[in-house]
Structure 1
Amino acid sequence: MNAARIGMRRGWIEFKQTLTTPQDVFAMIFPSAILLTVMVFMKGSTIGNTGFSLGAATLPSSLGMSVAFAGMTTVMQQLAVEREDGTLLRAKATPNGMLTYLIGKIASVSMGAVLGVLLLLIPGAFLFDGLELGSVGAWVTLAWVLAFGLVASLPIGAVLGSLFSNPRSVGVMMLPIMGLVAISGIFYPLAEADAWMRDIAQVFPIYWLGLGMRSALLPDNLAAVEIGGSWRHLETIGVLGVWAIVGIVVAPIVLRRMARRESGSAMTERREKAMQRIT
């Protein structure tokens, strides 16, 4: 309990530091502004014969993508950076340090993910018509999809981040993640895609996060353009739940092994290599 309390405090401090760092604030606002601009240009297009704006339909999908990115890429990048600068080594040297570090990271990234959702949802509510924002059920669905999505994606980011010894190597993983976004029905109905694309997309959390967010914020009749003609809530819970369980089991094992390999000499070696690249 003490580790959890300290971890939550650590997460809150990290989140506040993010809000007071201009570069971090820009990194949160700029992608949301770009996405909203793209969706505004998509307002004139419609989904099939439904007459519903493609821009409005893309907003909830983008919320799901935002949660997935926060869980996977943010944790992955921060873990690689803090492994190089010695943060992980200091955490390892303190009682319950790794547990406290992990809880703090989960807390700070989760708060950042919620803020990212709000940065898209609040202006989107004024820019797009037809969103189901007045229903209690919509907000309940939004909440559980957000919770399941974070629990499913955060361990993935932790595992991926533990694979890289320096932050410059993290970019290698961005290409496959962007590829998954491209085939996950974020910007168009996945039901219209090829069968192989549908099969791959449904294995990973990004598609299910987008589907869950669409089920929360779009009219029920738009479920007709989805795979199977329904929102598939049970399947969403099932797939995200499997990813969450696997991640919760695997991530601590991988992080413990990574922590055991951390030492002062290893950190010094990485710093020297980084300085050589700079000079």
Structure 2
Amino acid sequence: MSTTATTTGLDQREGTARRQPGTLRQGLVRGGVELLQFVRERDSVIFGFAYPILMLAIFATVFGDDDPIVVDGVTVSFAQYFLPGMVATGVMLSTYQTLAISIAVERDDGTLKRLRATPLPATSYFLGKVLLSLVTVLAQTALLLAVAALAFGVPLPDDAGRWTTFAWVFVLGTAAGAVCGVAYSSVPSSGRSASAVVVTPILVLQFTSGVFFPVTQLPGWMLDLSSLFPLKWIAQGMRSVFLPDVMASAEPSGAWQHGATAAVLAAWLVVALVVGARTFRWRRHDDG
């Protein structure tokens, strides 16, 4: 009887294991849960989507046509010059900032601890977070481009080459930002401190990476320091998409540096993956 019962129990567990959905499928399901939770937080949705649009509107209105950017006789409006930086900012806010804060809060309130005790694979949890970031940043960027074109007359690219550049910079930037957010989520000591700890670095980088000011107005040491981080390269890559080619001469190197952009973003993706895998915590510091 004992042997029969043991065999039956093993068969049941094996059947359950066989019926367990795959990691990818569970990740997609988890992503749906994350998206549902996200849209239910209407204030976060509104302010998250509105921030880059409001900043574009403010800067375009303040500077307007009275203060265009002129390089080698080519003139672009401040709204057009400012748009790439806002696309880059939207990517980092919807990936790095959103994930770092939300994961830190979930760790603090015990959500991660409870999820860790379920059959949900860790990889599926992270896939769900990445899916959330990808969907939100796609929606945010599409809305931003629509407003820029319709409300401020910013010309969008009309050739496939520029949109190809946009695609790979966008994908690499989103991936790097998401993985950096997961890795950085272990830095805040609590959910209450997460916003300050996470937002401060990205806010500083917005001022030093050519997002809020033309790169020609920033000191060299500041640009050199910012070149160590992804935001500067995402913004530069996006400028190569939305600005005339002649504007490349205004960059510190005098070129768009697509190769360097890809290399730096890929390096951050790999380094953040390694660091995140070694440092990620499912429990609070005071919870063992």
Same fold by TM-score, threshold 0.5 exceeded? Answer: yes
- Which residue does the alignment assign to 1:150? 174
- Which residue does the alignment assign to 2:38? 18
- AA paired with 1:95? P
- Which residue does the alignment assign to 1:177? 202
The gaps in structure 2 that reach 5 residues or longer are 1-20
Question: For each residue in 1:12-65, what CA deviation from the matched residue of structure 2 results, as whole angstroms up to 9, or x when unmatched?
Answer: 232133234322322223313422321331332211343211221101111011
- Which residue does the alignment assign to 2:14? none
Tell me how far 1:136 sits from its aligned partner. Answer: 1.6
For residue 43 of structure 1, the aligned residue among 30, 55, 64 is 64
- Which residue does the alignment assign to 2:150? 126
- AA paired with 1:167? G
Tell me how far 1:130 sits from its aligned partner. Answer: 5.2
* C-alpha distance in structure 1 between counterparts of 2:108 and 2:189, whole Å: 7
List aligned pairs for 1:1-279, cutoff 5 A. Answer: 2-41=22-61, 42-44=63-65, 45-49=67-71, 50-129=74-153, 131-170=155-194, 171-255=196-280, 258-259=281-282, 261=283, 266=287
Aligned Cα RMSD in Å? 2.1
In structure 2, the residue corresponding to 1:48 is in which secondary structure? strand
Question: For each residue in 1:225-275, what CA deviation from the matched residue of structure 2 results, as whole angstroms up to 9, or x when unmatched?
Answer: 1122211100100111110111122212222xx12x459x839xxxxxxxx
- AA paired with 2:68? T
Q: TM-score, normalised by structure 1?
A: 0.87
Q: Are the aligned partners of 2:179 and 2:273 in contact in 1 as well (CA < 8 Å)?
A: yes
* C-alpha distance in structure 2 between counterparts of 1:130 and 1:99, whole Å: 40
Tell me how far 1:11 sits from its aligned partner. Answer: 0.9
Q: Are the aligned partners of 1:83 and 1:89 in contact in 2 as well (CA < 8 Å)?
A: yes
Question: For each residue in 1:96-119, what CA deviation from the matched residue of structure 2 results, as whole angstroms up to 9, or x when unmatched?
Answer: 532221111111112111112122
Q: Are the aligned partners of 1:70 and 1:109 in contact in 2 as well (CA < 8 Å)?
A: yes
Q: Percent identity?
A: 31
Tell me how far 1:189 sits from its aligned partner. Answer: 2.5
Q: TM-score, normalised by structure 2?
A: 0.84
- AA paired with 2:45? V
Aligned length: 263
Q: Are the aligned partners of 1:57 and 1:214 in contact in 2 as well (CA < 8 Å)?
A: yes
Change (3 A) 1:73 1:10: same
Between 142-151 and 184-193, report the one with greater CA deviation. Answer: 184-193
* C-alpha distance in structure 2 between counterparts of 1:29 and 1:245, whole Å: 28
Question: For each residue in 1:97-152, what CA deviation from the matched residue of structure 2 results, as whole angstroms up to 9, or x when unmatched?
Answer: 32221111111112111112122111111133453432222221111111100121
* C-alpha distance in structure 2 between counterparts of 1:195 and 1:162, whole Å: 32
Q: Are the aligned partners of 1:190 and 1:227 in contact in 2 as well (CA < 8 Å)?
A: yes
Between 237-246 and 192-201, report the one with greater CA deviation. Answer: 192-201
* C-alpha distance in structure 1 between counterparts of 2:64 and 2:223, whole Å: 25
Tell me how far 1:184 sits from its aligned partner. Answer: 0.3
Larger Rg, first or second structure (1 or 2): 2
Q: Are the aligned partners of 2:56 and 2:82 in contact in 1 as well (CA < 8 Å)?
A: no
* C-alpha distance in structure 2 between counterparts of 1:225 and 1:33, whole Å: 25
In structure 2, the residue corresponding to 1:95 is in which secondary structure? coil
